[in-house]
Chain A
């Protein structure tokens, strides 16, 4: 199985400041034939199901604010929130879909400082 490891486990950022979450995979999720990284990011607010934010490592889902961005390739990925808003308080998960079993990171809890 591909193990996904996120850091940090929790993060407190002031409103309007940048938040950065890291996700590392135990092996590359870059598919060489199409040069795509099979990596997604989700946001889970308290009491809610996860919501897709980013897929192909850097493509924003429709309707997701442009303060959310994804970057990285191979085994190292980053989710950045450029200017933290109150509604961004949530747990964030990365997920690889390069191969089954699909696996998720353990989650990063983002709070307001």
Chain B
């Protein structure tokens, strides 16, 4: 199983951060898995952003809920993250990861992608 994040490494303040996670080696439509996003500001700890099931509604961390959208594209075996109205505080390495259904630990992670918010 491999997960690979992709998207712009630089986003301007107030704009929308958009990332995609491409999954290979497993079907994103599997009934066995959830898919999630986690971020890590430089030199800091881990923050869960949100999680989605291929056929269900996503759920988000409350602190970001008003700005986050996570969606799934089963035809491309991908899931995506959009974070609107970004500020410098959103600068971080963004990871996509897999969770088993009905449990919330992350058993496979992508390598991560650094997104810097700067004008």
Query: Which residues of B, 12-63, contact A by the 8 Å Cβ criterion?
Result: 45-48, 51, 59, 61-63
The residue of chain B having its C-beta at the shortest distance from the C-beta of A98 within the complex is B104
Chain B interface residue count, Cβ-Cβ cutoff 8 angstroms: 20
> In which size bucket is the chain A interface?
20 to 34
A93 at the interface (CB under 8 A from B): yes
A51 lies within 8 A of B103 (CB):
no
Chain A interface SS verdict (over half): loop
A52 at the interface (CB under 8 A from B): yes
B106 lies within 8 A of A50 (CB):
yes
- Of B59, B63, B95, B105, the residue contacting A97 (CB under 8 A) is B105
Given A95-B106, A101-B61, A104-B45, 17 additional A-B pairs, CB 8 A? A1-B62, A38-B103, A40-B105, A40-B106, A49-B110, A49-B112, A50-B109, A55-B107, A93-B45, A95-B105, A100-B59, A100-B104, A103-B48, A104-B48, A105-B45, A106-B45, A107-B46
Q: Which B residues have a C-beta under 8 Å from some C-beta of A?
A: 45-48, 51, 59, 61-63, 95, 97, 103-107, 109-112
